[in-house]
A and B are shown apart, each in its own frame.
Chain A
Amino acid sequence: MQESWGARSERRDPIEQLLLLKNQFSGGLHLKPEEILILEALHLLIEHEIEEDFLLESDLKDRILRTSDCLKLEIEPHQTNQLIQKLLQTGILRLTFGGTRQRYRLSRLGQSLAKCLLDEVDYGTDQLNALFTSALSGLRTARLAGNDSLKHYLIHVLFDTIEEKIESKVLAIEEDLARRKERVRQTYAGQSDESRDKAQSDIEASRAALTELVEAVRGSSACEALDSEIDEVIREVEDPHLKELLRRAGTFIYRFRAKIDLMLSDLVEFIRNCAAYRALAFSVTARDRLCRAQEQILAYALEHPLEMPLLTMPEIPAWGLPPQRPVEKKPLVLDSARIKSLEEAPGMASTFEDPSWKERLLTVAREQWKTFDQEVDLAGWLLELSKTIPQVADQPDLALSFLASDWPAWVPPVIVSSRDDSWVALGEEWMIEPITLATEIDLTECTNG
């Protein structure tokens, strides 16, 4: 075991150290949350507010009660003695005597514990700035001393110590954020609105602190200067091994910045989700009511065909001519035997039926023609005929066609001639040119006379 522990001559036997520790804290270290807070309060008081490194009993009790009021720890005055005894028993607080009065000091354990616990939640930039400043100073000094010195500094100081401390600091912040987020998660799923509000305000405070840290690192002269120094040295040196070490150092700074940026963005997203959920269910009661309602809806959906309506882009119906099978067309063959001659075709049936007044018109016209002893004005005659046959006035064109078709068979024969005169109206729609109807007898008499 001694070989695996690599004991050096200047180190004590680790087993001996462990045995000492075993006997030192036989009762263990059981500290309640309020006791840890009191320890931190005492540490801060001694470190930053007073010049002495001890407290009188009255000051100690006063600080305990003031811390309790401020942080709402609900420690009553009659409980202060008990709390002080507890701190003494755990070895965090020790009692000394100065003159005739009792003095209380934080033991070395108490100081270390208080400091480490504060570091766990300390998002302040002082420690980080100090580390980067130390790294920058050491790098510049080693650079002046030569390549070997620079290599030694990078391997044994920057990577071994400073890098480890920075990583440890970042890890502490990360773990603290994870604890706070877990508390928020538990309270949001819990039954107390007050707990939820408290957890939410805690994590909001973390965001503010982390934002400040990120801004400080971005603008940190020490971090920027270290990065620039490393870039400058990389350009100068020729040794490939040294170049590789310097690149590793530059990568570490880049990863560190990226890490805290990512932590902040994750935290912002988490807080945003909390706010989003708060908008959905602002209290425990509202959340429970909403969940019961959703369970009812889900049960309904299991029994009924429920489908959420959506939207789809309207589809333009596809259209196109379906492919057709080619149809073989038969050649047209004329069968002369089946073609009938026009003469064999039946006569065209007339669709026109003569009106009933036609025969009456023709009968009257034939009789009157026989009595005419001189030429007759056709227009005047049609107007006369319309007095006894009204349809002649309504359809003078039809009446004239009937007469003209019939008078070639009249006796005496009808001689039609036009004369130079004005047209005559036949009703409202028709006009007729001046036509004279005469017989051959009339023409013969005119010739002879």
Chain B
Amino acid sequence: MVDQAGQDRFGVLWQNPQKTQQLVQAMLSGKHIDYYIPELFGFLEAHQELWEAFFGTIGYRLHRRDLGGSTYYYLSNRSGDSKPKKLSQAATVLGLFLSLQYAIEGPGLADSLPAETVFERLRATLPFGRVRPIFFQSSPGVSAKELTEEQAERFKAKIATALRELASYRFIELSPSSRASFDVLVVTKLPALYRFLELARDLSASAEGQPDLAAIVLKHWGDGASSREAEEE
């Protein structure tokens, strides 16, 4: 990290140790950095090439995206040896669903949605029989095809868990707090939520008649296999 003149190449990054520590810890924990945390975002923007080089030396690749018009940064593993952590299947489905809502309605849909609204839209759009194995896995006592009213509360709890997971990586923001009760919980879109549209952009740009979905998933998200399945093996 020292150049030929003996100067620390990354010296400017250490001038504010506290901010550097916050940024490095946030990014290495998988968080996306956007302009809603202006101090860290500005720090990245101002020294993007240096940060890219720094993270590269410790085995990570810095990504800068502006899909959706708002810039955000995140890291991925550079080495193929590391097995990255994956979002749960429930959170992935919820992320895909939320990003679809914003793609359909555009700025017509407020950036903030009550969690109850998310639940109602999910319930109205996706057949419960198909989402049940994803959100409930092997929970007993849950009707296979239809969601009963008493089971709706359990479904809301599962959705809240998936929302908290998405919030922990700054795909969305939860207010008044991530632990608020479902009836007052509000979901706010953050720029990184548009990452869930990357597959669709590739698919929609494909000139083939029947594009291979599996190949597109593999290209962007690796094998996309459930880590739960790997553990079971």
Interface size on A, residues (CB 8 A): 43
Question: CB distance B197 to A273 under 8 Å?
Answer: no
Question: CB distance A280 to B227 under 8 Å?
Answer: no
Residues of chain A within 8 A of B30, CB atoms compared: 310-313
Interface of A is mostly: helix
Question: CB distance B92 to A189 under 8 Å?
Answer: no
Within 8 A of B (CB), among A269-305: 270, 272-281, 286-287, 289-298, 300-305
Question: CB distance A276 to B69 under 8 Å?
Answer: yes
Report the Cα distance A301→B108, complex, angstroms. 26
Question: CB distance A311 to B213 under 8 Å?
Answer: no
A70 at the interface (CB under 8 A from B): no
> Residue-by-residue, is B192-233 near A (CB-CB < 8 Å gives 1, otherwise 0)?
001111011101100000000110010001101111110000
Question: CB distance A291 to B104 under 8 Å?
Answer: yes
Shortest Cβ distance from residue B23 to the other chain A in the assembled complex, whole angstroms = 13
Within 8 A of B (CB), among A161-213: 184-186, 188-189
Question: CB distance B69 to A309 under 8 Å?
Answer: no
* Residue among A273, A279, A289, A308 facing the most chain B CB atoms (10 A cut-off): A308
Residues of chain A within 8 A of B25, CB atoms compared: 313
Question: CB distance B75 to A311 under 8 Å?
Answer: yes
Closest to A274 in B: B107
Question: CB distance A189 to B105 under 8 Å?
Answer: yes
* Residue among A292, A300, A310 facing the most chain B CB atoms (10 A cut-off): A310
Question: CB distance A301 to B74 under 8 Å?
Answer: no
Residues of chain B within 8 A of A272, CB atoms compared: 69-70
Given contacts A277-B69, A290-B200, A306-B92, contact A300 B213 (CB under 8 A): yes
Given contacts A293-B203, A305-B225, contact A280 B68 (CB under 8 A): yes
Shortest Cβ distance from residue B221 to the other chain A in the assembled complex, whole angstroms = 5
B39 at the interface (CB under 8 A from A): no
Question: CB distance B92 to A281 under 8 Å?
Answer: no
A428 at the interface (CB under 8 A from B): no
B157 at the interface (CB under 8 A from A): no
Report the Cα distance A291→B229, complex, angstroms. 30
Shortest Cβ distance from residue A340 to the other chain B in the assembled complex, whole angstroms = 60
Given contacts A274-B107, A313-B29, contact A307 B84 (CB under 8 A): no
Report the Cα distance A312→B131, complex, angstroms. 27
Question: CB distance B103 to A281 under 8 Å?
Answer: yes
Given contacts A302-B131, A307-B227, contact A188 B106 (CB under 8 A): yes
Question: CB distance A308 to B108 under 8 Å?
Answer: no
Report the Cα distance A204→B105, complex, angstroms. 20
Question: CB distance B200 to A294 under 8 Å?
Answer: yes
Residues of chain A within 8 A of B86, CB atoms compared: 307-310
Closest to A182 in B: B108
Nearest 4 interchain pairs by C-beta: A276-B69, A185-B108, A305-B226, A188-B106
Residues of chain B at the chain A interface (Cβ within 8 Å): 25, 28-30, 60, 66-70, 74-77, 82, 84-89, 91-93, 95-97, 99-100, 102-108, 111, 126, 130-131, 134, 169, 191, 194-197, 199-201, 203-204, 213-214, 217, 221-222, 224-229
* Residue among B25, B84, B199, B226 facing the most chain A CB atoms (10 A cut-off): B199
Report the Cα distance A297→B92, complex, angstroms. 11
Given contacts A188-B106, A291-B100, A297-B213, contact A279 B203 (CB under 8 A): no
Report the Cα distance A440→B49, complex, angstroms. 100
Residue from the list A189, A275, A292 in contact with B69, Cβ < 8 A: A275
Report the Cα distance A289→B200, complex, angstroms. 9
Residues of chain B within 8 A of A313, CB atoms compared: 25, 28-30
Additional A-B contact list (9), CB under 8 Å, known A185-B108, A289-B204, A298-B96: A185-B105, A273-B107, A280-B67, A296-B200, A297-B96, A306-B217, A309-B76, A311-B60, A312-B29
Question: CB distance A306 to B108 under 8 Å?
Answer: no
Report the Cα distance A188→B103, complex, angstroms. 10
Report the Cα distance A401→B80, complex, angstroms. 68
Question: CB distance A280 to B107 under 8 Å?
Answer: no
Question: CB distance B107 to A306 under 8 Å?
Answer: no
Residue from the list A185, A291, A308 in contact with B103, Cβ < 8 A: A291
Report the Cα distance A310→B169, complex, angstroms. 9
Residues of chain A within 8 A of B89, CB atoms compared: 301, 305-307
A/B interface sample: 26 pairs, CB < 8 A: A185-B106, A185-B108, A186-B108, A273-B107, A273-B111, A281-B103, A291-B104, A292-B204, A293-B200, A294-B103, A294-B197, A294-B200, A297-B203, A301-B89, A304-B214, A305-B226, A306-B217, A307-B92, A307-B226, A309-B76, A310-B30, A310-B87, A311-B29, A311-B60, A311-B77, A314-B28
Report the Cα distance A290→B70, complex, angstroms. 18
Question: CB distance B224 to A307 under 8 Å?
Answer: yes
Shortest Cβ distance from residue A24 to the other chain B in the assembled complex, whole angstroms = 41
Closest to A306 in B: B224
Question: CB distance B213 to A280 under 8 Å?
Answer: no
Question: CB distance B85 to A311 under 8 Å?
Answer: yes
Residue from the list B93, B106, B201, B213 in contact with A302, Cβ < 8 A: B93
Question: CB distance A276 to B226 under 8 Å?
Answer: no
Report the Cα distance A281→B29, complex, angstroms. 31
Question: CB distance B217 to A188 under 8 Å?
Answer: no
Report the Cα distance A309→B204, complex, angstroms. 22
Residues of chain A within 8 A of B106, CB atoms compared: 185, 188-189, 274, 277, 281, 287
Residues of chain B within 8 A of A292, CB atoms compared: 204
Residue from the list A186, A296, A305, A310 in contact with B228, Cβ < 8 A: A305
Shortest Cβ distance from residue A195 to the other chain B in the assembled complex, whole angstroms = 13
Question: CB distance B69 to A279 under 8 Å?
Answer: yes
* Residue among A189, A287, A300, A302 facing the most chain B CB atoms (10 A cut-off): A302
